[in-house]
Amino acid sequence: MSSPQEFFGNIADLIRGIPRDIILLLNRLPYVHLDPENDVRGVIVILMTAILAIYGLTNLLLAPWLERKVMARMMGRRGPVYVGKFGLLQLIADIFKLISKEDTMPMTADKFGFNLAIFMMGIATIMSFAPIPWARGVVGANMDIGLLYVFAVFSVFPPAMLLGGWASNSKYSLIGGFRAAAQLVAYEIPMMLSILGVLIFSGSLNLMTIVEEQYSNGWYVYRAFPGLFIAFVIFLFASLAETERTPFDIPEAEGELVMGPRTEFSGWRYAIILMVEYIHMYVNVILVIVLFLGGWDVIPVIHGVNYPEFLWMIKDNRLIQFLAFNVKIYIGVFFVTWVRVSFPRFRIDQFIEWGWKTLLPLSFIALGIVVVYAGLLVA
């Protein structure tokens, strides 16, 4: 029986070994000359991304269940109870129901845009899993531009939403699409600005480097106090707005717009949109954790406090890191649900104003504090 650390090492070796064998096999074919050391890298990236994305997606089956349960408890209900133990299989039942439904499309819809919007959103969300570090060294693609990559992938959403809303050829969808695009654009700027403070400390866009820096010098929530804490709160609310969670679910305000840009999508298309929404929320929670709450780090380092040896052993254990990351994600999902139950929906004008007139100046102030702090550190 190997230790947990070795267990993860063995898995990594296995993943590296399989593509090498495939390449060695391919080399037996005529006219194929591959280098097993260098050419193996791309295959590893694809395999690791696929494995971690599948892990993330299976985890994702639990997130909506947790959300429903927590929501129900907070409202004095019981939530899903019939399908499976504690209603655990409710989401799978829902998915089967949605897939088995008749595939309908409005007669006047623009077929090209109607289909393209779904595929664009679906592909973009799954691609966003690639650079996320789940434990030390456990990552799909170790990119130097990891953070920028995630935001680049997410920036495909506003045009896709608008396209989907327009292609449905319904006024509710179009208005919803507009609202979604305006909201995503308005909240992307404070989000980006609040990240700048983190980048000053980490000096890298690589998500692994960002987490390693927090591992050795402390989490970003409490560093450069209160600069990065303000940035953390701004990033949290901006990411809630980005994912259209309830205080900010203006694009799909069901009292006004039926379902917003998603109104005309039904059956498997709706299943994909539902999945996209949850993955978007999930990845945003992960981003908050990676950027501000230490990623897979278990025990935050405090400047000037010496930890005993066994605490460092806990910090260095990859299995504990992996589990800690997952626990943090579920706490994040719980928090998001809590916010959803507690606050009523904003009005569209209040909301856009809040973004441009409150969050944007605040994020500038936070950035200023961080810059001054970093300057003092250097001096």
Q: Judged by CB, which is closer to other proteins: 97, or 357?
A: 357
Instruction: Give the shortest CB-179-to-other proteins separation in angstroms.
Output: 12
Please tell me whether residue 185 adopts helix, strand or coil conformation.
helix
In the block, tokens 């194929």 appear at 32
| Residue 276 and residue 164 in contact, taking contact as beta carbons nearer than 8 Å | no
Classified as helix, coil or strand, 30 is coil
Kindly tell me which of 114 and 229 has the beta carbon lying closer to other proteins. Answer: 114
Question: Which residues contribute to the site for other proteins (CB under 8 A)?
Answer: 34-35, 38-39, 42, 110, 112-113, 116, 120, 143-145, 148-149, 151-156, 158-159, 162-163, 166-167, 174, 178, 181-182, 185, 188, 356-357, 360-361
Q: How far apart are CA 233 and CA 371, in angstroms?
A: 18
What backbone phi and psi angles, to 5 degrees, belong to 188? -70, -30
Least distance to other proteins from the beta carbon of 144, Å? Answer: 6
Closer residue to other proteins (CB): 65 or 235: 235
Closest approach of other proteins to the CB of residue 350, in Å = 13
Q: Least distance (Å) from other proteins to the CB of residue 280?
A: 15
Furthest CA-CA distance within the chain? 69
- Between 17 and 368, CB nearer to other proteins: 368
Give the closest residue to 336 by CA, choosing from 59, 64, 62, 57: 64
Least Å from the CB of residue 155 to other proteins: 3
Burial letters 178-208, b for 16+ CB under 10 A, else e: bbbbbbbebbbebbebbbebbebbbebbbbb
Nearest 5°: CA angle at 140, between 139 and 146?
85
137 or 361, CB closer to other proteins? 361
Residue 154 vs 237, nearer CB to other proteins: 154
Round to whole Å and give the CA distance between 51 and 141: 12
Q: At what angle do helices 207-217 and 146-154 cross, to 10 degrees?
A: 130
CA pair distance 160, 116, nearest whole angstrom: 8
* Region for residue 244 given its phi and psi (left: phi exceeds 0; alpha: psi -120 to 50; beta: otherwise): left
CB count in 10 Å sphere of residue 137: 13
Residue closer to other proteins by CB (options 162, 210) is 162
Find out whether 104 and 270 touch, Cβ atoms under 8 Å: no
Closest contact distance (angstroms) between CB of 167 and other proteins is: 7
* Min separation Cβ 65 and other proteins, Å: 32
Between residues 117 and 271, which has the closer beta carbon with respect to other proteins? 117
Q: How far is the CB of 164 from other proteins (least distance, A)?
A: 10
Residue with tokens 């409150």: 358
